[in-house]
Structure 1
Amino acid sequence: MTVIGFHCSHEQVAPGRLLRDVQHAERAGFTAAMSSDHLSPWSARQGESGFAWAFLGAALATTGLPFGVVNAPGQRYHPAVIAQGIATLSSMFPGRFWAALGSGEASNERVTGAEWPRKEVRDQRLRECVDVIRRMLTGEEVSHEGLVTVNRARIWSLPDTVPPLIGPAVTPETAARHADWADGLVTVNQPLDTLRRVLDAYRDAGGRGAARLQLHLSWAATDDDALAIAHDQWRSNVHGPPVSWDTETVEAFDTMAATVGPEQVAEVVRVSSDPGQHAAWIQEYVDQGWDEVYLHHVGKEQEAFIDTFGERVLPQLDPTSPPPAVTDRPMHVAVEVNR
């Protein structure tokens, strides 16, 4: 069973165009989709950043694909608002939506004017947010005082089943921390041995649910063109944590990327003009144990990539649809509230 999904990169593609792209991807044979959720792009060259939650409603309504989103509650988003958003999409599109909840990046969260906390504080804040969101999704009225404050928050339009809350992680340590609360794991492509450590850390700590991988790749008619696309669009993304967490502005990312060469980009993006090579790379991840692989062509133009992969890559992988996006945790129950 191989789920091959299409990654919707709001940082690079205008929302109307991206909606048409994901519809195209479904017709081409992709069997799922996931969405980034940014306020700003990583580079001025990328130059877009649509509101993911508006896009998700439109995309779920105009395709039959299941969708996920990677979100950071706690600063730019209050957890009660995210809980309501998750509940509404899950109610309208049962079994087709999951949300990954992470600790965030300064480039998106700084806009509130609040202090950007240390990583350990952000991790604790995330745990509080996850608890608030999950309790609200089971129908509870929630009040909470801590790194986030919640005052008698309740969701009135609940889905029939609790949707999955997924743990995003790029290190084994984070993957292990997520294992006790998450309904699945999502990460981005790294060297295979690093990915093995991330997946093993999650499973060894008791992590449940599907393992999802977002794969950055660049395809074009020639290797040189594919590398040029990757270098233009993704050289701001070669810096790992804590740089990617703590850098605040597009201008700063572009300054840091000024000396990044194409060879460095090729270390974090799978670059080739050969669809067979891309299929072989994807199969390596599937063989390693990743249940769902979401392909992110890092170019701004998606149409030729979708057509080529639909015709020449997906048939080699025989993608299937994922099971319904639900957890085996308790469904919501009526909660008596003292007022």
Structure 2
Amino acid sequence: MLKIGYHASHEQFSPSDLLRYAEIAEKSGFGLITSSDHFHPWSEIESHSGFAWSWLGAAMQAIHLEFGIITAPAPRYHPAIVAQAVATLNQMFDNRLWIAAGSGQALNENINGDFWPDKQTRNERLVESVSIMRRLWDGQEVTQYGHVNVVEARLYTLPTATPKVFGAALSEKTAGWLASWSDGLITVNHPQEKLQKLAAAYRAGNPSGELALKVQVSYAKDLKTAEKLAWENWRNNILGGETQAMLSHPKLFDEAASFVRIEDMKHHVILADGADALISALKKYIAMGFTRITLHNVNRDQIGFLELMRSAVLPSFQKV
């Protein structure tokens, strides 16, 4: 079943504002809420960094939709703690939460002061972490030594069903690799040819896995304003996957993104001055097989975006 979602960006808005926006999103006809999970924001300018797991408890009580959280189960957290958090929320809220697991970014994970490893090591740690979580959700007592150590851990409050774990990928290589251990793929909007290759690489290893997409958009009354607002609010987030994984502080992102041009944004963010661009993009992604599509309006005007979605975009997909 197709679900079109609203993305709650903790790096940009306070938790109380995000709760209000998510409540409006439910009333507007969205079928899904996704949440980021950051310790530091992308920029030091007009930023926030609320604790996503506290927010989820409040949001899932107030809003009766499916939720997804994009997180790294290690090393900022221990995977046993993430497993416990997910199990508790799903026991309380009818298994409405899934996670999208990634290998992490120094921006968030390196606050513990440990050596930041290479991508291969981070990937190995991610697979270990997901295995630990799944065994705990299954009620097993887990002891394991490796990139992550866990000793005699067992969850006494279990989820009502095994939570789904999506794998986060920005490249074909990563998409193909995570097909062996994830329930689905999640990525962000790329040019159509790249998205098709990502989806094909994943489906080659996991034909029944689900495809999820986080779509970055900038809505304003005219395209020039939409482009400018995207640049002002989201240019730090288009630096490339490995660069974003290695930079360890918001001020470094601000410095690195000082070379990003306004005209670069159209290659990474869908610019919209009305419903047509969003409807066209959604139809394209649906045709490619994506069934969970979350829209993230990267500029500050969340209310205007939500009203556009309610009145002119979501009604086109009510029977899809």
Q: TM-score, normalised on structure 2?
A: 0.97
Query: How big is the shift at 1:206?
Result: 2.1
Query: How big is the shift at 1:179?
Result: 1.1
Aligned pairs (5 A) from 1:158-237: 158-237=158-237
Residue 19 (structure 1) aligns with: 19
| Preserved CA contact (<8 Å) 1:31 1:319 | no
Residue 54 (structure 1) aligns with: 54
Residue 280 (structure 1) aligns with: 280
Please list every run of 5 or more consecutive structure 1 residues that lacks an aligned counterpart in the other structure: 321-339
| Preserved CA contact (<8 Å) 1:180 1:207 | no
Residue 30 (structure 2) aligns with: 30
Within 2, Cα distance between the matches of 1:131 and 1:267?
36
Out of 37-46 and 47-56, give the one that drifted further: 37-46
CA RMSD of aligned residues (A): 1.2
Structure with the higher helix share, 1 or 2: 2
SS state at 1:313 partner: helix
SS state at 1:167 partner: strand
Residue 336 (structure 1) aligns with: none
| Preserved CA contact (<8 Å) 1:143 1:152 | yes
Query: How big is the shift at 1:46?
Result: 4.3
Output the amino acid matched with 2:96: R
Query: How big is the shift at 1:224?
Result: 1.9
Residue 271 (structure 1) aligns with: 271
Output the amino acid matched with 2:160: D
| Preserved CA contact (<8 Å) 1:10 1:35 | yes
The structure-2 alpha-carbon separation of the partners of 1:268 and 1:216, relative to structure 1 and needing over 3 Å to count, comes to: same
The structure-2 alpha-carbon separation of the partners of 1:272 and 1:160, relative to structure 1 and needing over 3 Å to count, comes to: closer
Residue 152, structure 1, aligned to residue 152, structure 2? yes
The structure-2 alpha-carbon separation of the partners of 1:319 and 1:133, relative to structure 1 and needing over 3 Å to count, comes to: farther
Q: Deviations over 1:18-59 (max 9, x none)?
A: 000000001011111111101111112241111110111111
Residue 330 (structure 1) aligns with: none
The structure-2 alpha-carbon separation of the partners of 1:31 and 1:319, relative to structure 1 and needing over 3 Å to count, comes to: farther
Q: Deviations over 1:81-123 (max 9, x none)?
A: 0010111111111231101111000100110011111100000
Within 1, Cα distance between the matches of 2:274 and 2:101?
35
Residue 126 (structure 1) aligns with: 126
Higher relative contact order (Cα pairs below 8 Å, separated by 6+ residues): 1
Residue 318 (structure 1) aligns with: 318
Residue 99 (structure 2) aligns with: 99
Query: How big is the shift at 1:230?
Result: 0.2
Q: Deviations over 1:169-190 (max 9, x none)?
A: 1111111111121111111111
| Preserved CA contact (<8 Å) 2:86 2:159 | no
Out of 258-267 and 310-319, give the one that drifted further: 310-319
Within 1, Cα distance between the matches of 2:100 and 2:177?
14
Within 2, Cα distance between the matches of 1:318 and 1:268?
27
Query: How big is the shift at 1:274?
Result: 2.2
Within 2, Cα distance between the matches of 1:262 and 1:98?
35
SS state at 2:259 partner: coil
- Give percent identity, aligned residues only: 38
Out of 120-129 and 41-50, give the one that drifted further: 41-50
The number of equivalent residue pairs is: 320
Output the amino acid matched with 1:204: A
Output the amino acid matched with 2:183: D
Output the amino acid matched with 1:162: T
SS state at 1:258 partner: helix
Query: How big is the shift at 1:64?
Result: 0.8
Q: TM-score, normalised on structure 1?
A: 0.92
Query: How big is the shift at 1:160?
Result: 2.4
Q: Deviations over 1:154-209 (max 9, x none)?
A: 10000221111111111111111111211111111111111111111111012533
| Preserved CA contact (<8 Å) 1:226 1:272 | yes
Within 2, Cα distance between the matches of 1:302 and 1:212?
22
Output the amino acid matched with 1:294: T
| Preserved CA contact (<8 Å) 1:142 1:150 | yes
Residue 82, structure 1, aligned to residue 79, structure 2? no
